[in-house]
Amino acid sequence: MTAKERAPLGFGDELDSFDPAAWAKAKGKPASDKPKPSVVKEAAEAAGFKSREPVKAEAKPDTPQPKQQRRRRTGRNVQFNIKTKQEAIDAFTAVADANGWGFGEAFERATELLQREHGKSI
């Protein structure tokens, strides 16, 4: 069996005369011709370009503080969702925060108190 020859693509002569050394970086040139970042920033501002970098917002005194994170490793792995009034959630959160409890621990203590007061248990 003879191998088929490929059809000529028309640039074989150019590849024969190609010299990769001609593409090497020029020597004696400084490693970095880049302008300093401050110069670039000034030129961009003068041309009307705006930075896409995020601007850190300053906290205003009347702005409410973000909610405190309450993530702990406690071994509790069952979720219990309820609907209630906002006042009840605020009161529950205040009690938990005042005692340094997580919500799971506060719920367990509240359940113990209810069982003790009403005399019913599991």
Side-chain-facing half-sphere of 19: CA atoms under 13 Å: 3
Q: Comparing 27-31, 88-92, 109-113, which segment has the lowest mean pLDDT?
A: 27-31
pTM of the full structure: 0.41
Mean pLDDT, rounded, for 85-111:
93
pLDDT of amino acid 98:
94
Please state whether 28 falls in left (phi above 0), alpha (psi between -120 and 50) or beta: left
Place of tokens 């011709």: 33
High-pLDDT (> 90) share of the chain, %: 30
pLDDT, averaged across the chain: 82
Q: Would you place residue 32 in the very low, low, confident or very high pLDDT band (cuts 50, 70, 90)?
A: confident
Residue with tokens 């020029």: 26
Render pLDDT for 57-83 as a digit per residue (tens, 0 to 9).
776 667 677 777 767 777 888 888 999
pLDDT at 7: 82
Confidence (pLDDT) at 23:
77
